[in-house]
Amino acid sequence: MKGEEEIKKICGEVIEKIRPDERERNKVKTVTDFIIAKINKKASEMGIEAHAISVGSTARNTWVSGEADIDIFIMFPADLPEEYLKEKGLALAKSISEKYEERYASHPYIHAYFYDAEGTEHEADIVPCFSVIDASRLKSAVDRTPFHNEYIVKRISGLEDEVLLLKQFLKSAGIYGSEQRRKGFSGYLCELLILRYSTFAELLRNASRWKYGERIDIEGRGKYKGEGKDPLIVIDPVDPKRNVAAAVSLDSFCRLIDAARDFLACPDASYFSTAEKKEMNKAEFIKLVKERGTEFVMVLFDAPDVVEDILFPQLRKAEASIARLIERNGFRIYRSDVSVEGDKAFFIFEFLVWNLPKVKKHIGPPVTSRYHSEQFKSKYASQQSLRIENGRYVVEIKRKHTNVVELLRNELRSCSLGKHVSESIDRGYEILKNEEIRFFEGIGAFFRHYFGFD
């Protein structure tokens, strides 16, 4: 009982800090209403049959104080062609703000900036979509969002604080957000988990017992058939064939389980802290590298100008391809990772073996396999080292690359790097090791996380 009281006390204190007050809610609502009215007015003036609605956390009162993400969807009739939606939707979105960026999800949208009466800046995503009859008749992935909004709005009343606690807990653990960089829990997924378990504490109690392949189906109508490939399955109540938790990686899934167990065992407000930690500096990095006795090699290049949800899958596929090249040549990787910090992207490899001798043992076929052994022996007949070991021909040959930096400088472009990464590397890249690694903005935070100090 004491543990439950302590959890309740901590959660109450946290909520008072992260729940938006009435003034903040009114400011966000005023800006949201202004954007919607402006879009509807402009649509009428431009002769466009469309109207705007508010969706997402600000429409459902489930945003953490200071982190309001205003999402406005422009609803177009479903019988219109997609090209019309892209052209007119973007034109309409751009017409209502002087400051905006064009971004891309399943199709282009606008990230715009607005100011309230006090001059405070507010950011808003303005997304054109089709007003389909139901979620089974989608013309694009974003068409599903208004149905999500309707489902949550009807059910979340009275549970908003529980959602805020879960979001803050996940933020502190570094697993909030479904983007490819993080592969964590989306806001919508958080809301569904609270709808399923009613309270944040009850969710943690259940999460602490989760097994791989945990399945949650609030409506009991799930038709998703991806069992075995996803660590967590949460059936979308508005689209029973979809797993809302598909973006959650195995590591993010396990980090929630681990954090839930630790918090329940020893409740503490630090599990909700998102205070920025001091970045690791270069001297601290070098000291750690020397203590570990490993070698760090960074492949550094300009970050391709594409959204992160396109870039990060490419970076990870390229990382895997480079790792295969490295291992094929006899070097041994301890760990590797990728990141984008500012305008730079990089691969980082930590090595157990980064230098090799000039000589390499090349194992041939069994002597008893006459055809293949004769081919092998003919090819290497001039080699004095040709011998038989364990029933096979063996020959010593000269290793092409004796250190990993040389290998990467000569053969990096032979790897499968992906379109955007390849184009950027073709324009130039650097290979840096240990002391040569530059500490530009963000790299200290990356290494702090890499070494487990977060």
Q: Are residues 390 and 409 in the same domain?
A: no
Q: Inform me whether the pLDDT recorded for 188 exceeds 70.
A: yes
Token pair 């959660």: residue: 11
Domain assignment of residue 277, yes or no: no
pTM: 0.90
Spell out the residues 6+ positions from residue 296 whose beta carbon is closer than 8 angstroms to its own: 289, 348, 349, 350, 351, 433, 434, 437
Q: Inform me whether the pLDDT recorded for 1 exceeds 60.
A: no
Q: Are residues 297 and 445 in the same domain?
A: yes
Question: Which of residues 272, 301, 321 is at a domain's end?
Answer: 272
Question: Which of residues 212, 239, 272 is at a domain's end?
Answer: 272
CATH number for the domain that contains residue 59: 3.30.460.10
pLDDT-derived band at 135 (thresholds 50, 70, 90) equals: confident
Q: Are residues 182 and 76 in the same domain?
A: no
Q: Are residues 393 and 259 in the same domain?
A: no
Domain assignment of residue 129, yes or no: yes
Q: Are residues 309 and 321 in the same domain?
A: yes
Mean pLDDT, residues 220-237:
91
Domain assignment of residue 150, yes or no: no
Question: Which of 14-23, 51-60, 77-86, 291-300 is the least confident region?
Answer: 77-86
Q: Are residues 26 and 132 in the same domain?
A: yes
Q: Inform me whether the pLDDT recorded for 453 exceeds 90.
A: no
- Output the pLDDT for position 225: 85
CA atoms in the 13 A half-sphere facing the CB of 219: 15
Q: In the chain, how many domains are there? A: 4
Write out the DSSP string of 212-253: TTEEE-SSS------TTT-SEEEEETTEEEEETTTT--HHHH
Domain assignment of residue 147, yes or no: no
Q: Are residues 178 and 244 in the same domain?
A: yes
Q: Are residues 433 and 445 in the same domain?
A: yes
* Percent of the chain predicted with pLDDT > 90: 86
Q: Are residues 383 and 421 in the same domain?
A: no
Q: Are residues 197 and 258 in the same domain?
A: yes
Q: Are residues 252 and 198 in the same domain?
A: yes
Q: Are residues 442 and 331 in the same domain?
A: yes
Strand pairing class (70-77; 121-131): parallel
Tens digits of per-residue pLDDT, 52-78? 999 999 999 999 999 999 999 999 999
**Host domain of residue 247:** 160-272
Question: Which of residues 237, 272, 307 is at a domain's end?
Answer: 272
Domain assignment of residue 153, yes or no: no
Q: Inform me whether the pLDDT recorded for 375 exceeds 80.
A: yes
* Percent of the chain predicted with pLDDT > 70: 99
Domain assignment of residue 3, yes or no: no
- Output the pLDDT for position 2: 55
Domain assignment of residue 6, yes or no: no
Token pair 């992207």: residue: 345
CATH number for the domain that contains residue 219: 1.10.1410.30
Coil, strand, or helix at residue 286? helix
